[in-house]
Structure formats: structure tokens, C-alpha cells
Amino acid sequence: TRIPSTTTKSVDTRPRHAATRNGRTKAAPADKAKAGGSGKAKASDPAEKLRVLLHEPKSALTKLDMSDVINADTWNALSSASHARLVSLFPPTAFRGFQLSLDPTHPFRRWQDEQHVRTPPSSRPPSPSFPSRLQDLDLGCFKDGHFLSAMQTFQDHLYTGWMTDAHKEMVEFYKSGIENGTLHASWKDEAWEGDELDEEDVVAAAPAAARAQMPASKVRTGAPKELRLLDLVKRHIVQAGDVLVYRRHFVQAGITIEKDVLIEVVRPKSLVVLLPSGTTSSLPAHILAHGSDMNVDGESLRSAEITSPSHLESTILDLDGRVERGQRPNSNAWKSLVVWRWREDGFEAGEKRGGREKRNTLFYLRSCSYYDI
């Protein structure tokens, strides 16, 4: 039998090159990195590394315990120049010898002045300030609960992307939108009234069988909505000569529309009203006085026949013309109309609206009318 050879092959430690089909050699990965390293050069830029470390969610700081990064030992490892630059960032409570005191504008300080001797504001000492002296820095502040919580909050903001430039631009966009009125919260009163159902709406829309099982208090709550405007006329809650004052703020348009409406004639199934044309809000004084001539001036007054508060609101907005029908959110017109009426004793409350006095909204008067039955 032949004995197997025990000789070993020599190991070639020279760089290897892969041969291509056309006989040329292809550089090894190390040579390739040297040839085209523009991407890695950008990644190795110190400024770019610092930006990723402090602003991007992929930062290595999101996976570390921040107390291992910022503590008394790492502070002592910094140079004197770094200490001089960073010491001003510490709060006054981080220095030994700090004594808590109240600012002169604090309410308790003003109460002390009133109990003893009132000190003129000009002679009061300025707000207390504590010098940031490096030798007085208490290194125990790195273990303070407030400091540890602040580091964790920074880490959370970094991980969620709140430190990125894109997020900062989005925040500035919303800030400017809120300031100039182009953005508003959709849960404000105007949108809520159009999107949400209150208890009265739920009760009124419930079937008769379901309403029979409801408590008497809830069933009675929805009943005022069954009263119409003409029902209030029959009960003399609304009558000829009254002035209905309309006022509503439109958030998206950024305007408030106000208009006075005079009830001229009460008919069996409708009301004839007079209202100023265009964007004018007030009626002429000679129309509002006792025994006045209500001849309609075609230029300044308009006459309309309405059957409900929502019908009247649509008429008012059509005459005003500043809010198109597509921009009018749903709302309860009963809450936007206030009744003004002359006193029964003939006393005029003032010059406003011909001496009439304010009663309340149609919404409130309708509820009172139902419960007074």
C-alpha cells in the first residue's frame, strides 16, 4: 500500500485578484474601496457624523444608557476649555451654595410687601441670579432625578425623529398656520356641532320602541327639538316687531357675520322679515322705532319669507355673500339667533335696536317653552 503524503502546500499571502472572462483582472474589495470611496468619505465626515449622532433616529445614542455617556467621570475627562464653555449650560441648582428665593414678581412676595411695608417697584432688587462658577459645580447633579429624566426625554425625542430637520420644518409650518389662521383644530365648536350627535339628537332619532325603554328624563330631553319656530309664535315667544340678531363666526373663512332681522308680519305658516342687504349688519333707526313705516327700500332693505331658523340663516348668508354654500359647516341655527323685544311696560331700554332689550337665544327660549308647559 502507498503511504499518503504528509507534505503541506505553501500558503500564498499575496493579494488575490479575480480573473474576468476577457482575461483582465478585477481589483480586490480593498482596492475597490480605494478607487471609489466618495460615499464612505461623506460618511466619515466629522460634521456629518455629529449630525447623525444628535439628530437622526439611527443615532447610536438611542441604544445606550445615557447615564453611561454623561456622568461625572466623562465630565472630568474633558479639557479645561470644554469646561469653560459648558459650565454656563448648567442650572443654578447645580452649584454648591445655591439658596432658593422667590422672584420679586411672585404673588407671595407681593403679599409680604402688603403685610409689612410696600416697597416701590423701582427700589426692589432685581431677580436673583447665581454665577456659574466652575469650582462650585456639584458633580452630584449628574445623578439627580431631574437630570436623568431630561436625558431620557432627549433620547426619546431622538428616537422618534423629533430632532430631524424635516420634523422641525413641519412644526414651523403648523406654527405659522396657526398664527395666520390658515390651520385650525377640527374639534372646535363649529366642526363638533356638525359631526357629533348630542343626547337630544340620539333620543329624537331613536325608534318609538327604544324610546319607550329610555328613562323619562332622557325622553323628555329630546322633546324641545320637536318644537318649530311657528310653535314659538303661537305661544307668543316670538312675535311681530321682534328683532332677531344673528351672529356666527366662520373659522375657515376667518370672518364673523352679524345681521339684525326685523319680524314684520306673522302668517299662518311663515314669517315675513326685513333685513339689511349686503354686508350691512344693522337696520335703519327709523325702521326700529315704535309705529315706524316699514316700507321696503329696494337699495338698503330686503324682504324675505322664512319658515325656520335654518331657512333664515341661509337667507342671511346668501345676502351677505362672503361665505359660499360649500364653506358653511353644519350648525344649530337656533343657537345663533337672539331675540330682542320691547318691554311690556313701554319703557325703552336704550337707543340700541329701537329701545328693545335682549331676551335670549331661540335655542334657550324653545327649551324653556317646552318645560313650562
Q: What 3-state DSSP class applies to 107?
A: helix
Contacts of residue 10, defined as CB under 8 A and 6 or more positions apart, other chains included, come to none
Does 172 have pLDDT greater than 60? yes
Tell me whether strands 337-341 and 243-250 are parallel, antiparallel or unpaired. Answer: antiparallel
State the pLDDT at residue 106: 80
Q: Which residue has the cell 482575461?
A: 23
CA–CA distance, 58 with 48 (Å, rounded to integer): 13
Could you read off the pLDDT of 314-359 as tens digits, one per residue?
999 999 999 988 888 777 899 999 999 988 776 665 678 888 889 9
Could you read off the pLDDT of 301-324 as tens digits, one per residue?
899 999 999 999 999 999 999 998
Could you read off the pLDDT of 245-264 as tens digits, one per residue?
999 998 888 899 999 999 99
Does 7 have pLDDT greater than 50? no
For the chain, the 3-state helix, strand and coil shares in percent, each to the nearest 5, are: 45, 15, 40
Contacts of residue 163, defined as CB under 8 A and 6 or more positions apart, other chains included, come to 54, 55, 56, 157
> Buried b vs exposed e over 329-358: b needs ≥16 C-beta within 10 Å?
eebbbbebbbbbbbeeeeeeeeeebbbbee
Average pLDDT over every residue of 187-205: 49
CA–CA distance, 199 with 2 (Å, rounded to integer): 102
Length of the chain: 373
**Cα-Cα-Cα-Cα dihedral sign, residues 342, 347, 353, 354:** positive
- pTM equals 0.44
